[in-house]
Amino acid sequence: MGAALSNVDALREAFASLGRALKRIAVYRHARDQHASFVEPALQALRDVLDHEGAVTIEVHTGSLTSEGQTVYLEPPREWGLCFRLHRDGVRTLTFQRGITLDELLAFCNAALYDPNSGPGREDAVTELWKADFTAITYSATSGYRMEHGDLDADKVAEAVRKLAARARPVVLEVTRHASDLAENTVLDRRPQLMSRPELAGLDSVKWPDLARRAAHTLLRIVEEGFAGRDLEALEESLWRLIDELVARGEAQALARTLETLRRLSGQHAQAFRAGVARKLADPGRLLRLSELGGVNEAALTQAIPVWLALLPREAGNALLDVLPQAPAQTQQLFARAAIARAELDLERFARTLSQGQPAAVIAILAALDTLSPATRAELSTPALSHASARVRIEAVNAVGSDAETAVRELPAQLLANDPSVRVAAVQVLASCAGAAERAAALLISAIERPGFASLDREEQALHYRALGKLGSSSGFQFLCEQLSVSKGLFKKKPAENERLLAVNGLAEETSVRTLRALEQAAAPENGQPATVATAARAAVVRMRTPQPRGGSR
């Protein structure tokens, strides 16, 4: 795992401190009792990073150290530097894990330190690291390219190569001539094969999925038992290439077992190995092929894909978002939830995806946001309110409605949307905003009083009034009572019969003592309400006074 962006500066300071410690050890090489005091500041700085990250993997170059593509230590390529001996002897990655001790870091410094007085008998850095038997430091290595003092110089090596080539040339020419003669004089047998490929495969008692499973088990067992050594990178490549083949052949169950074994892998090199393979699993091309397998294979959908996604590193969130629009519908929800779970998500790209992305993919993302807190879910869903698709906007309205404060701030424009289904969704959400009832009621009253409200469908009008009553706000109650008023002010329009019936429906939703009294007054003959309004009010009073069966609804 690489250092998070927020910790790069701390990581740089840790390795800068380690580089200074190495220089002081080189100067005071024989004062071994002081070496611990040189290394302690670097140890504390490194521990601060590891307490937050758990583990940090560093790539080793000739004159620098990098993590996730960012340089964390830089020095001129020189023999007494921190990087030179390690890289020269084949060390390519170092993984520092939480729990590192002073003795381990001292042993690491001794392995990395150039010693001009050691002579040709000193072992290479990889061997010294291996002999140190670390518990919190792991490494991967390739074959080194050492040429110590006393070895052949370049001229002698070149002369030896020329002599070997001169001795081999006649033999190669003779073999080539015989091969050419054989090719010219051989008549190709064009008779059909005795057995086809499927028939030959049927005779093979070893089925490919079983062979792949055993091969993967062998690779993982080598790592778990601590025998990987400098071959860790080669073993990583072998495993992810085997995983590619399992996906290509559609062997979902074997793939799921392999990935699960990788997830549970233990041992000294397990974390570094798993992180190396996981970086390859996060490749967008592999993710797309995996999603396509899930679209046609139930076992891949329920077994392999969840484990694969769980192994991905934190920075894979953006790759998952990129793949999501091309993924089959069956896998979009899984990929969306995995993207949301990744901490290092590019929020600007995320907002752009929600406002402009493919509708099915955006809906999958909005559904995946339900794992977050209501306020966070509502805030992240807001960009989807501007999407061109009405279906997406409806889902976004519902997601934004998970937090009342965000809903009353972001939904006013949706009450005026051209699409009636979007308007209805916004009204229903505002009806549930009890935490901001007065502000939600003000929005609904404004929508009811707008000039075009009377032209809306009767059911949509009734929905606005019922939402207003359901909120139970003071302003909403007052507005509904005014709609039932028999007489209005001198310059105020007297409510029409339709508006009074709608007000009765709204008051009936609150089911409180004050609404019961208001409805009883409207039902009274002496109040002068039209017959239809009085009848509707009496029916609402009867419903409110009638006890409801337990678990039933009005």
Helix (H, G, I), strand (E, B) or coil at 152: coil
pLDDT of residue 152 exceeding 50, the answer is no
Supply 283's token pair.
Answer: 């490749």
- Kindly report the CA angle at 31 between 37 and 64, in degrees rounded to 5? 60
Identity (one letter) of the amino acid at 487? Answer: S
Render pLDDT for 91-119 as a digit per residue (tens, 0 to 9): 999 999 989 999 999 999 988 887 766 65
Helix, coil or strand: residue 64: strand
What DSSP string runs through 238-302?
HHHHHHHHHHHHT-HHHHHHHHHHHHT--STTHHHHHHHHHHHHT-HHHHHHHHHHHHH-HHIII
Last residue of a domain, one of 106, 141, 176: 141
- Cα(372)–Cα(378) distance, integer angstroms: 9
Domains in the chain: how many in total?
Answer: 2
Cβ atoms of 344 and 338 closer than 8 Å: no
Query: Which whole number is the average pLDDT over 333-362?
Result: 86
Least confident range of 36-50, 250-264, 537-551: 537-551
CA–CA distance, 463 with 390 (Å, rounded to integer): 19
- Find tokens 């996730």 and name the residue: 68
> Structure tokens of 297?
């294979």
Which residues are 470's β-sheet partners?
A: none
CA distance 46 to 40: 10
Last residue of a domain, one of 117, 141, 165: 141
Rounded Cα gap, residues 399 and 241, in angstroms: 41
Question: CA torsion angle for 436, 442, 443, 446 (degrees, to 10)?
Answer: 180
The strand order across the sheet containing 55-60 reads 70-74, 64-67, 55-60, 91-97, 137-141
Where does residue 513 rank: exposed (0-12), middle (13-18), buried (19+ CB within 10 A)?
exposed
pLDDT of amino acid 490: 45
Give the model confidence (pLDDT) of 324-336 as tens digits.
889 998 899 899 9
Q: Give 487's pLDDT tier (boundaries 50, 70, 90).
A: low
Measure the CA–CA gap between 503 and 482, rounded to whole angstroms: 9
Which residue has 């850095």 as its token pair? 125
In a domain, 264, yes or no: no
Whole-number Å distance between alpha carbons of 256 and 307: 7
The answer to whether residue 236 sits within a structural domain is no
CB count within 10 Å of CB 384 equals 28
Q: How far is the C-alpha of 396 from the C-alpha of 415, rounded, in Å?
A: 14
- Show the DSSP H helices in 417-530 as ranges: 420-431, 437-449, 458-471, 474-483, 497-510, 513-523
Give the end of a domain, one of 92, 124, 141.
141
Q: How far apart are the first and last CA of the chain?
A: 57
CB atoms within 10 A of CB 505: 19
Both tokens assigned to 462: 């009734």
Does residue 262 form part of some domain? Answer: no
542 falls within a domain: yes
Q: 333 with 364: CB under 8 angstroms?
A: yes
- Residue position matching structure tokens 């934004």: 400
For residue 43, what are its two tokens?
Answer: 């140890």
Give me the count of residues in the chain.
554
Q: What is the separation of C-alpha 151 from the centre of its chain, rounded to a whole number of angstroms?
A: 51
Q: Which residue has the tokens 């519902």?
A: 398
| Contacting residues for 446 by C-beta, under 8 A, at least 6 apart | 412, 415
> Is 300 in contact with 293 (CB distance < 8 Å)?
yes
Domain membership of residue 525 (yes or no) is yes
**C-alpha pair distances (Å), 202 with each of 136, 196, 205, 250, 340:** 49, 10, 7, 19, 46
Q: Are 232 and 223 a contacting pair, CB within 8 Å? A: yes
pLDDT at 421 over 50: yes
Question: Does residue 520 sit within a domain?
Answer: yes
Q: Which pLDDT value is given to residue 411?
A: 94
Euclidean distance between CA atoms 230 and 421, whole angstroms: 62
d(CA 229, CA 231): 5
Highest mean pLDDT among 144-148, 184-188, 475-479, 528-532 belongs to 475-479
Token pair, residue 378, equals 């509502």
Q: Over the stretch 190-238, which tens digit does the pLDDT of each residue have?
A: 456 666 666 655 655 457 777 887 888 899 999 888 888 778 888 999 9
Whether 507 contacts 515, CB under 8 Å: yes
Q: What is the pLDDT of residues 18-61, one digit of tens each?
A: 988 988 888 888 888 889 999 999 999 999 899 888 889 999 99
Cα gap 482→318, rounded to integer Å: 54
Other beta carbons within 10 Å of 368: 21
What is the distance between the alpha carbons of residues 263 and 270, in angstroms, rounded to a whole number? 9
Residue 270 lies in a domain: no
pLDDT (tens digit per residue) in 122-136: 788 888 888 888 889
Expressed as residue numbers, the domain containing 500 is 452-549
Can you name the residues that pair with 71 across neighbouring β-strands? 66
> Residue 390 pLDDT > 80, yes or no?
yes
Secondary structure of residue 71 in the 3-state scheme: strand
Domain assignment of residue 496, yes or no:
yes
